[in-house]
Chain A
Amino acid sequence: MSTAKFFSSPWRTLGFFLLILITLIWLLPFLTALLTSVRTNDDILTQGFIAIPKEWTLQNFVTAWNRGGLHKYLPNSFIITIPALFATLLLSSLSAYALARFKFPGNRLLFFLYVGGTMLPFQVLLLPVFRLTDALGLYDTHLGLILFHTAFQLGFCTFLLRNYMRTVPGEILEAARIDGCGEFRIWAQIMMPLTLPALAALATLEFTWIFNDYLWAIVLLRTDALKPVTAGLATLQGQYVTDWTVIVAGALIATVPTVLLFIFLQRYFIEGLTLGATK
C-alpha cells in the first residue's frame, strides 16, 4: 500500500496519529528511564525528576558495570536462567506428553495438581522452601535457585504444553506406534518438533520470568558473588541515599538479553499466543 493511499481516509489518518500518541504514552516510562540514566544525582535533585539535564553523561553505565558489579551479576543471571529454562522445558514437555496422550487412573488429578500448584501464591512457600533448601545444604548455591525455578515453573509449563499437545492429531502418533516406534522416540522425534511453536513461546516467557526473579534470589542467596542481576542491582539502594541513575542505567543494560531473545523469537511467540485461537 502506498503512503498516499494509506492516508486517503481522514479516519485512517486520525487513527494513525492516535496510535502514535498511545505508543508514546506507553513508552514514556522507558523514555524517562533513558533520560535518568544519562543524568547525575545532583542534577535530579536540583531540577526534579523530569527535566532536560544540564550535563549529559554516560558515566552511569560504566559505573553500573564496574562499581555496580553488573559484570559479575549478569553472568550469574545466565548461570541460573539457562539451566533452569532447559530443565523446565524438558521435564514439562515429558509430563505434558504423558498427561496429554496416556489414559491412566489419576491423570486428571495429576493435571489439576499441576494447575492448582500454579495458583498457589508463592509467597506462602517462602518459609518452607527456605527451610528445605537449608536442610538440603543448597542454601546460598546456584543449584538451589535453579532447582527451585525448575520446580516452580513446571506447573504452568505442563499446563500449557499439555493443552497444546492435545491439539496434535492422535493418528500421527498411532501411525508411529504401529511402525514400532518407542514412546520416547515418539516424544522426541514427533511430538517435540510439532510442539516447537509452543515451546518457543514458552521459552521466551519463562526466560523473562526466571531472569527477572528478585524475591527468590534474595531469599535463597546470601553471598554477593552469587547474586543475579536483579538482586545485585538492588544492593545499590541505600537506607537514605539511593543511586537512582546508576540503578536505572544498570537495569537498562540488564534488559538487553531479554529484548534480544524476544526479537529472535517474537514471530513464534505471537504465533504461540494465538495458537488454537481459530480452532
Chain B
Amino acid sequence: MKKTLFAVVAMAMILSLALAACGPTPTPQIIEKTVEVTKEVVVTKEVVVTKEVEVEKPVDRRVVIYNSYASDPAPRAADEALVKMFEEAHPDIEVQHSTVAHEDFKQAIRAYLTASTPPDVMTWFAGNRARFFIDKGLIMDISDVWEQEGWNEDYPAGFRALSTVNDKQYFLPTSWYWWAVYYRKDIFEQYNLQEPQTWEEFLQVCETLKANGITPLTIGTKYPWTAAAWFDYLNMRVNGPEFHINLMLGKEAYNDPRVLKVFTDYWAPLIENGYFIDDPAAYTWSEALQFMVDGSSAMYLMGDFLRDSYPADQVGKIDFFRFPVIDPAMPIGEDAPTDGFFIAAQSQHPEDAKTFLAFLGSVEAQQYNADVLGRLPTNLKVDTSKFTPVQQKGLELIKGADYVAQFYDRDTTPEMAERGMSAFSEFWANPAKIQAILEQLELERQEIFAEE
C-alpha cells in the first residue's frame, strides 16, 4: 500500500518534470525552426554584403530593456515589427521586449520605476500621467535627443509642450487618436436622420431612434472610463475647455453650480429618457459594442480604436460625427489621448536606450505605425497624403478644435481620476443623488490637491 503511494507520487512528479522538460510539442517546434532558418539566411546574406567580422558581433550584443503596454492584438504586432526593424538597423543592440497587459502595466509601472534595474524604455501616456513621474524624478531628461534628432522643429508645438517640464523634454509623444460619436450609417438612413450638429438636433435623433424601438446610445461602464468621456465632452461643451482643464488641475470645485448643471440639465435627462442601454455597468466597452453591431443600438461615444474591434466585414456601415455643440459661444474642445515613450531615470543602458528612443520617434517608425494601425502620427514629416478618408476626417476633426484635452483619467491626477470615475458610476445608478455625490467629490478633491 505504502509502496504504491510512493510510486504514484513519484510518477506524478516525474510526469510533471517530463512535461516541463518537453516544453513545446513537435509541431510548433518545426514552425519555430523554420523561422530560425529564414533568420539565419537573412543574417548570412547581410554578412556577405558587409564584413565577415560581423558574425561574432551578435554574441556580445548590448541590451536595451523595453516594456510595453501595447497588449491589444494589432498594436502588439506592430510593436514587435518595430523592434525587429530597429534590431536589423542596429545589429549590435538587442531589445529585450516584454509586453504587459495594459491595465497591469499601469499598476506595475511604479514597481518598474523604483526597481534598481528598471526597464530602459517604456510606453506611457503623455500629459499629466507622465508629469506625475517626472516630478518624482523617475523619468530621464531627453532634451539632448530632442535637440539631436531635430524634433524641436519636426513636432508641433502642442506636442512639444506636452513633453516639456521646466524647459526640458522628458517625453516622446508618438501617436494619438480622436474621440467622436460613432453611428450606424444604415440605421440613420433608414429613419432619414442627419449627423446632428447641435444638442437639439442630437436629442431629436435620440427621440426618433427610441420611437422606432432602437436604443439611441450604447455604453459599457464596467470599467468606468467610458462614462468619463461623457463628462469630458458635456463639461467642455457646456462650460468650455478652459473651465474643464482647470477643474482637471484641481483649480475649480466639483460642487460648483456649473458642474452640477452638466449633470442635472444634460446628462441625467439622457439616462432618465432611456436613451442609454439598460444596465451599462454589466458590460465592458467592447461587450457593449455588440448592441451596435446587432443594430439594437445606433450610437457610441468612443475613441477611434472602436473601428479596430468592429467586425471587419461590417466596419463600412459606421461613421462618426463631432460631439454636438451645446453652447455656440464656447470654444470647441476635443479629447485626443496621446501615447508615447520615455526613458527611466535609473536606466542601466542610457546611451542605447536613447538610440532606441530616437528610432521610435523617427519618421520611419511613425510612418509604419500610421500605415499599419491607422494611428495619427506626431512627427510632421510623416506623409499623410495616403491616409484613408476616415483618417483624414479624424485629422480634420482635431484640426478644427480650439483646445485638445487628453482624457479625464489622463488630465487629472490618478487618485482624482479614480474617485471621479467612481462618482460617475454612482451618479449613473442614482441620478437624483448628484448633489450629494458632487459634495463628496469636492471634499476628496480638496484632500487630494492639498497634498501637493
Show the binding face of A for B, using Cβ within 8 Å: 41-42, 44-46, 48-49, 62, 65-66, 71, 74-75, 78-79, 82, 130, 134-135, 137, 139-140, 193, 196-197, 199-200, 203, 207, 218-219, 222-225, 234-243, 257, 260-261, 264-265, 268
Contact = CB atoms under 8 A, between A and B. Distances in A.
Interface of B: 2, 5-6, 8-9, 11-13, 15-17, 19-20, 23-25, 28, 31-32, 65, 67, 69, 71-76, 96-104, 108, 111-112, 114-117, 119, 285-287, 289-290, 293-294, 303, 305-306, 308-314
A106 to B, nearest CB: 33
Contact of A196 (B5, B112, B289): B5
A240 B119 contact: no
A264 B104 contact: no
A46 B311 contact: yes
Main secondary structure of the interface of A (DSSP, over half): helix
Contacts of A261: 12, 16
Contact of A237 (B19, B24, B103): B103
Contacts of B96: 223, 225
Given A264-B12, A265-B9, 15 more contacts: A45-B309, A65-B25, A66-B31, A74-B23, A75-B20, A134-B116, A139-B116, A199-B9, A235-B101, A237-B71, A237-B103, A238-B101, A239-B102, A265-B12, A268-B5
Nearest to B303: A240
B5 A48 contact: no
Contacts of A234: 101, 104
Nearest to B99: A235
Contacts of A130: 111, 115
Contacts of A65: 24-25, 28
19 contacts: A42-B313, A65-B25, A65-B28, A71-B28, A82-B13, A134-B116, A139-B117, A218-B104, A219-B111, A222-B65, A223-B96, A234-B104, A235-B99, A237-B101, A239-B103, A240-B303, A257-B16, A260-B16, A261-B16
Contacts of B310: 45
Main secondary structure of the interface of B (DSSP, over half): helix
Contacts of B305: 239-241
A39 B61 CA distance: 42
B39 to A, nearest CB: 16
A239 B73 CA distance: 10
Contacts of B24: 65, 71
Nearest to A49: B287
Contacts of A238: 71-73, 75-76, 101-102
B72 A222 contact: no
Contacts of B74: 241
Nearest to A237: B101
Given A82-B16, A265-B8, A241 B309 contact: yes
B425 to A, nearest CB: 19
A137 B116 CA distance: 8
A239 B285 contact: no
Given A235-B100, A241-B286, A268-B5, A139 B23 contact: no
Contacts of B99: 224, 235
Among A66, A79, A199, A235, find the residue whose CB has the most chain B CB atoms closer than 10 A: A235
B102 to A, nearest CB: 4
A66 B72 contact: no
Contacts of B309: 41, 45, 240-241
Contacts of A243: 73
Contacts of A78: 16-17, 19-20
A225 B103 CA distance: 20
A261 to B, nearest CB: 6
B112 A222 contact: yes
Contacts of A260: 12, 15-16
Given A224-B97, A237-B102, A45 B311 contact: yes
A140 B115 CA distance: 10
Nearest to A220: B111
Contact of B9 (A79, A200, A224, A242): A200
A135 B116 CA distance: 8
B411 to A, nearest CB: 17
A7 to B, nearest CB: 35
Contacts of A71: 23-25, 28, 32
Given A74-B23, A241-B305, A257-B16, A45 B73 contact: no
A78 B103 CA distance: 26
Contacts of A224: 97-99
